[in-house]
A and B are shown apart, each in its own frame.
Chain A
Amino acid sequence: MKYYDKLIFDLSKAGRQGYSLPVNRWENSVSELPAGLRRSAAPALPEVSELDVVRHYTNLSQMNFGVDSGFYPLGSCTMKYNPKINEEIAAMPAFAGLHPLQPYQTVQGVLRLYKDLSHALSEITGMAEFTLNPFAGAHGELTGLMVIRQYHMSRGDIKRTRIIVPDSAHGTNPASAAVCGLEIVQVKSKANGLVDVEDLKPLLDDTIAGIMMTNPNTLGLFEKDIKEIAALVHDCGGLLYYDGANMNPLMGVVRPGDMGFDVLHLNLHKTFSTPHGGGGPGAGPVGVAAHLVGHLPVPKVVESEDGTLQIVDAEGEPCGRISGFMGNFGVLLRAYTYILMLGKQNLKMVGPLAVLGANYIKESLKDCFELPIESVCKHEFVFDGLKDKSTGVTTLDIAKRLLDYGFHAPTIYFPLLFHQAIMIEPTETESKETLDGFIEIMKHIAAEAGSDPESLKTAPHTTPVRRLDETTAARQPILRYKDMN
């Protein structure tokens, strides 16, 4: 790969252009604008040809690291392979050419698919009904919390303004709760990494709207007291929210609905193999138990007696509207493709294989890395840095060194329960050979920490850019090209 580090502005040559704009025939159009709204100078845009642009972004894209180019054990992100058939189906003209304002009579097949996917997700999670409208995981969290709030308000129970969040939670949980106007109450974890039921009990009163939990939690541990927690929270009048970020190990084996959860969101880009982020469209469907169906957001797809499917704007006491239309259909379609391609039997294999892979890595490496909680993990686990702390090599050094060996780094310094956290999640789509390759390199790095710590402290050495000065970047950020010189 050739080294390439230019900015698009570096390529700019005055007067060069890739596209000829038509002559502006609207005379005086600019001078008619009020002076306060007019630019005093032309915007500083790069002036480049079409070929300049194509080469620039092609070169940059070749420096990208993705799950299609290598192992990506980023904990709590479930970076599983996204099968290419998902893309083939989503690119079919009948789907790709849809318009959200088409009359419902012309999109019956699509609405049927929406219904069928909702049904499949309900089946997988044990919930009564789903909305597919939310655009991302955190958007799903907000939607689910709005459902909970609407449930309490519709009963006139307006005191319930507080929500319990464990200290091991994903950061989005308290953030979503705050956006929803709820006050966050933290519950602690015990030494074994599970929610402390004794710490929870005194928090439960008539001001509690509910509790947000991830199960398995961010340490990859199954919250085995979940039935007791569910009973306690329900007894105090609160609801249970399930953060579906860690659904992968449970799929087809255990259902959150059966554990007592009332509301959940799923990250389709994790468990259901749709593309991850990159600023692109996402999806965070929300499922609810039977008594909350009327509070799901609108619009909804409703089946009339003659079997026609309609898009309905008002039904029940919805928590509101959280999207202009019906969610990111292209993403939903990819997830449904994944479910149908695997089928019922293979869907049940996802969790066990993800769990097997994680435990295989954990057991293979626990002599070199500090394993703070000894137990069978689910889809992911957390090391607390190297076992031998005397070398001064930190988790950051290990993560940077992994890049030299062609692996994406795991999640580091999260969860916050340990100072040197390294969170590893291999997913079910990796072969034993890939896992063995990663294990070998991790052992090699642990050995290097003793023999040659300097090579770790200065890593990475083979990447297009070396270790970045994140501190100066945070303290004195340069945010504009023209400030660089």
Chain B
Amino acid sequence: MAKTVEGLYYSESHEWVKVEGNVAVIGITDFAQHAMGDLSYVDMPEVDDEFEAGEEFGAVESVKAASDLFCPVSGTVVEINEELEDAPELLNQDAFANWIMKVEMSDPSELEGLMDAAAYEAMCANE
């Protein structure tokens, strides 16, 4: 059973958001890394890239498949996790400890459209 973490926001496309002030720390969920299998590559955006909520910001690839990543909130990228460039397996080891990018939010109210841990677990149970 894939784990979730309380206090995070979750998207339908299996990203998580941790709020630190006006910055959204974004990664993929344990469910997502489990479904993908051993990850071989993380395609990340660049700092200063701007995304709308729901827009594609990168992709994860495994031996099995490739899957696009969608930005859960609108904003500007302020930092990316460069460690993932050489070690995509970090996402398999702990999907919640290893974030992908940090986004300065332009509209924090968008967070209200995301799910909490319980709602996300319920959604995954139906997949």
Residues of A within 8 A of B (CB): 413, 416, 419, 470-471, 474-475
Interface residues on B, range: 10 to 19
Nearest Cβ on chain A to B59's Cβ, whole angstroms:
14
Pick 7 A–B contacts, CB within 8 A, sort by A.
Answer: A419-B35, A470-B38, A471-B38, A471-B40, A474-B40, A475-B41, A475-B89
CA distance A239 to B41 in the complex (A): 37
Q: A413-B65, A470-B63 are in contact. List 4 more A-B contacts (CB 8 A).
A: A470-B38, A474-B41, A475-B41, A475-B89
B65 with A475: CB separation less than 8 A: no
Nearest Cβ on chain A to B86's Cβ, whole angstroms:
9
CA distance A475 to B38 in the complex (A): 10
Query: Which B70-127 residues have C-beta < 8 A from chain A?
Result: 88-89
- What are the residues of chain B within 8 A of A475 when measuring CB–CB? 40-41, 88-89
B64 with A413: CB separation less than 8 A: yes
Give per-residue flags for B24-39: 1 if the beta carbon is below 8 A from chain A beta carbons, else 0. 0000000000010010
- What are the residues of chain B within 8 A of A474 when measuring CB–CB? 40-41, 61-63
Which of B41, B64, B65, B89 neighbours the largest number of chain A CB atoms within 10 Å of its CB? Answer: B64
Nearest Cβ on chain B to A100's Cβ, whole angstroms:
38
Query: Which B41-82 residues have C-beta < 8 A from chain A?
Result: 41, 61-65
- What are the residues of chain A within 8 A of B62 when measuring CB–CB? 471, 474
Nearest Cβ on chain A to B34's Cβ, whole angstroms:
10
What 10 pairs across the A-B complex have the smallest Cβ distances? A474-B40, A471-B38, A470-B63, A475-B40, A413-B64, A474-B63, A471-B63, A471-B40, A419-B35, A413-B65
- What are the residues of chain A within 8 A of B38 when measuring CB–CB? 470-471
CA distance A470 to B64 in the complex (A): 10
CA distance A413 to B41 in the complex (A): 19
- What are the residues of chain A within 8 A of B65 when measuring CB–CB? 413, 416
Which of B40, B61, B65, B89 neighbours the largest number of chain A CB atoms within 10 Å of its CB? Answer: B40
CA distance A475 to B87 in the complex (A): 8
- What are the residues of chain B within 8 A of A471 when measuring CB–CB? 38, 40, 62-63, 89
CA distance A413 to B64 in the complex (A): 7
CA distance A440 to B54 in the complex (A): 48
Q: Select from chain A the residue with minimum beta-carbon distance to B87.
A: A475
CA distance A471 to B39 in the complex (A): 7
Q: Select from chain A the residue with minimum beta-carbon distance to B61.
A: A474
Nearest Cβ on chain B to A113's Cβ, whole angstroms:
42
Q: Select from chain B the residue with minimum beta-carbon distance to A471.
A: B38
CA distance A51 to B38 in the complex (A): 42
CA distance A202 to B41 in the complex (A): 35
CA distance A471 to B41 in the complex (A): 10
CA distance A419 to B63 in the complex (A): 14
Nearest Cβ on chain A to B69's Cβ, whole angstroms:
16
Q: Select from chain B the residue with minimum beta-carbon distance to A412.
A: B64
Q: Select from chain B the residue with minimum beta-carbon distance to A394.
A: B37
CA distance A474 to B40 in the complex (A): 6
- What are the residues of chain B within 8 A of A416 when measuring CB–CB? 65
- What are the residues of chain B within 8 A of A419 when measuring CB–CB? 35
CA distance A419 to B126 in the complex (A): 13
- What are the residues of chain B within 8 A of A413 when measuring CB–CB? 64-65
CA distance A413 to B36 in the complex (A): 11
- What are the residues of chain B within 8 A of A470 when measuring CB–CB? 38, 63
Q: Select from chain B the residue with minimum beta-carbon distance to A477.
A: B40
